[in-house]
Amino acid sequence: MRVLVVEDHRKLSSLITAGLRREAMAVDAAFDGRAALEQLAVNRYDVVVLDRDLPGIHGDEVCRRMVAEGSDTRVLMLTAAGAVRDRVEGLGLGADDYLPKPFDFAELVARIRALARRTTPALPPVLDNGDLTLDPSRRVATRAGRRLDLSPKEFAVLQHLLAAAGRVVSAEELLERVWDDATDPFTSTVKTTIGRLRLKLGQPPAIHTIREGGYRIGEP
């Protein structure tokens, strides 16, 4: 999934962003409301983690504009204002969830994943194709019963390909859904990651390159 973290406290933003990337999410960061709206205008996000008390354009206004524009991106408000009245007010603005600071990081991850499930068609709890299986909740992938040692990006690529259920997935789609703004879109990042993933999956090949199309799991 792709997530936008909008938090003006740069150290906290860096910690959240790094942690979510370790969870195989593509994460962009914005440090004020105006930058958040600019990011939302050009990228499609599953979830926005939105601090309310932002400089420039307030977080409440960011949420209002998203609702007014009919955005299907889910909003998780993350703020120090944790009283019941604050939570009710935030949800009334159109936020989908509200998590007061300080928070447990595992809970933040669980809430983001729960919100992301609302933006995409429901997937089975375990994805599989032939002798290849992947359990997103346990973050375990196996082939022929052998557990695969995958990096977060390799795991995310494999998950996206399996979720496509035989559909050809372009390199551009993988860049958009698995990577983030920290990635140079003109590099061979996708090709390199696919190459490493193929080596770890072993023979026979599980990922096929479709000429001038992209990649597909299963039959070539």
DSSP assignments along 11-54, one per residue? HHHHHHHHHHHHTT-EEEEESSHHHHHHHHHHS--SEEEE-SS-
Return the higher-pLDDT residue of 138 and 103.
Answer: 103
Average the pLDDT over 4-27 and give the result: 93
Mapping DSSP to helix (H, G, I), strand (E, B) and coil, where does residue 113 land? Answer: helix
| Distance (Å) of CA 87 to CA 18, 58, 174 | 26, 16, 35
pLDDT of residue 79: 80
pLDDT at residue 76 in the model = 94
109: pLDDT confidence band, cut at 50, 70 and 90?
very high
Q: What is the predicted pLDDT for the residue at 200? A: 94
* Residue with the larger pLDDT of the pair 110 and 24: 110
pLDDT bin (cut points 50, 70, 90) of residue 9 is very high
Who's near 83: CB < 8 A, 6+ residues apart? none
First and final C-alpha spacing in the chain = 26
Provide the pLDDT for residue 118. Answer: 76
Q: Would you state the pLDDT for residue 155?
A: 92
pTM: 0.67
210 vs 220: CA distance, rounded Å:
7
Q: What is the mean pLDDT of the chain?
A: 87
pLDDT at 53 over 90: no
pLDDT in tens, 167-180: 899 888 888 888 87
